[in-house]
Chains A and B, each alone.
Chain A
Amino acid sequence: MTASGRAQAHQAHRADQAQRVLRLGRRSFEPGQLLVMAIVNRTPDSFFNAGETWDESAAMERVHQAIADGADIVDIGGVPAAPGQIVDVSEEIRRTAGFVAAVRSAYPDVVISSDTWRHEVAAEVCAAGADLINDSWGGWDAELPAVVAAAGAGLVCAHVGRQRPRTRPHRVSYPDVMADVLEQTRRLAARAVTAGVDESAIVIDPAHDFGKNTWHSLEVTRRLAEMVATGWPVLVSLSRKDFVGETLDLPLQDRLAGTLCASSIAAWLGARIFRAHDVVQTRQTLDMAASIKGERPPARTVRALA
């Protein structure tokens, strides 16, 4: 290794040291641990596997399978990101709160995340046992952080540019998309701290496809290390998204390889939580990436060692 290579490696090591331990619910996670957040939609109309877990028993079966497959977090959502049938507060609570309670009762230790932007919903799901509020819509509801803080839960602070909830980006442009991501996510994280959310339970998310075209999502992936350098744990939500589909010109069902490639690169650059539909494949990808990074020993090595 050259002197400058050593210096870089040393710097990278120091950057890792700056990463915090993440505490969610009853669990705590070291910086080197890569976490799979399994998507469980309580919706009839989400973009992938639409309606597959609309039925409560199917959703619980999905949770059982995801945890068996290595998910660390389950992310339960009652409202699709895309525009469509209106889901009001009471309907969102009806779809998610009881189910969160059922998952909590089945799995006392698993981290339960709730995908919602509404403070009224957050209050209900936290009371039912949720540990983390995944606010995919970038802090739209200003009352959310205080509710999350009062519940002792964690908060995902996402970048959505200037989008309102459940709207599509249209002709969005940025002089520097990563600068915008950093500004917005840092501001939301600071707002959460001010509201009293535990600093060890705050996560930032560039929010691929949200308020972004495909070029923007590729850029934030390429420059993800800049988010990691903030010290906040970084979550990425890449699974089957349009930026993968447009990059490879592939429909939803064929986007797994592209998703896993993006996941590998995000892992290499320091992301820690990976929101995913395909738990087994994502778990394998992250384990492999962690071993290449030198943060996870390989499972069994005998080749040329006997």
Chain B
Amino acid sequence: MIIAAALCPAPPLLLPGLTGAADVLPELRAACADAVRELVAAGPDLVAVVGPAETTAAWDPAARTALALYAPGLLGAGFDDAALLPVSLGVGSWLLDQGGFAGARQLRSVAGSESVGACAQVGKEIAGLPGRVALLVLADGSACRGLKAPGYFDERSAGFDAEVERALRTGDLDALLAIDPSLASELMAAGRPAWQVLAGALGGQVVASEIRYCDDPFGVAYLVASIRV
């Protein structure tokens, strides 16, 4: 049974040390920390972490993302971990670590190539897990939100991200199932499969939500939300 969910973006820059000496986007970090704090405070038996990656897979909860992939030369960055998580799950794990969560975790990645139905099915499986399950979803919106964006400017990105924001703000999670995978891919919205896992896990229920952060400081749409079941 899902008792609560949180949504955070997963840019590598949220990993420790990757932005160098500067504290980049402190308000985004604070919003993520608040969302994870609320999630953990719900008292789950298990936190299920879901994020997009190249493959659909379950991952070792003890694994972390190797910082050296992104920051060779960063003091302390190495490849000591036995398994290397995709960055979305690495960000989720790091947020849980930062939030002091020591309980059970389950980490699942969903491939960008998965169909809407397959993503929703992953969500249903998570919702069917025994005990009190909290869901931490890592998902980014379009990366085409301006001339300096990673994917340059695409005029469709504003409407695309606004619809995701509306669905989350109003608790209309089923609307996330209507997101077109090919449009999401064109707009470099990596979070599409993860949003649809969220919808599969909670769709049909009336949920309350709080949008904690919604901005695109580097041309990528970041959204932080708490979802109360």
A residues with CB within 8 A of B: 83-84, 167-177, 213-216, 218-219, 222, 246-247, 249
Contact = CB atoms under 8 A, between A and B. Distances in A.
B188 A173 contact: no
Interface stretch (B66-74, B117-125, B205-213): B66-74
B150 A170 contact: yes
A218 B87 CA distance: 21
DSSP majority for the B interface?
A: loop
A213 B152 contact: no
Q: Which 8 A-B pairs have the closest CB atoms?
A: A173-B69, A170-B150, A83-B152, A215-B71, A219-B72, A168-B150, A173-B70, A219-B73
B73 A173 contact: no
B22 to A, nearest CB: 7
Contact of B70 (A84, A213, A247): A213
A177 B72 contact: yes
A171 B152 contact: no
A84 B73 contact: no
B159 interface: no
Q: Is the interface of A mostly helix, strand, loop or mixed?
A: loop
A249 B19 CA distance: 11
Nearest to B68: A175
B20 A169 contact: no
Interface residues of B, number: 22
Nearest to B144: A83
A175 B11 CA distance: 18
Nearest to B11: A171
Contacts of A218: 72-73
A176 B151 CA distance: 25
Contacts of B71: 213, 215
A83 B72 CA distance: 27
A14 B4 CA distance: 65
Nearest to A178: B72
A215 B12 CA distance: 12
Contacts of B69: 173-175
B188 A170 contact: yes
A167 to B, nearest CB: 8
Nearest to A249: B22
B1 interface: no
Given A175-B69, A249-B22, 8 more contacts: A84-B152, A167-B152, A171-B11, A171-B12, A172-B70, A175-B68, A215-B73, A219-B72
A215 B152 contact: no
26 contacts: A83-B152, A84-B147, A167-B151, A168-B149, A168-B150, A168-B151, A169-B150, A170-B143, A170-B151, A171-B12, A171-B150, A172-B70, A173-B70, A174-B72, A175-B68, A175-B79, A177-B72, A213-B70, A215-B18, A215-B70, A215-B72, A215-B73, A215-B74, A216-B72, A218-B72, A222-B73
Nearest to B218: A170
A167 B87 CA distance: 21
B147 to A, nearest CB: 7
A9 B149 CA distance: 47
Interface string B143-161: 1000101111000000000
Interface string B72-89: 111000010000000100
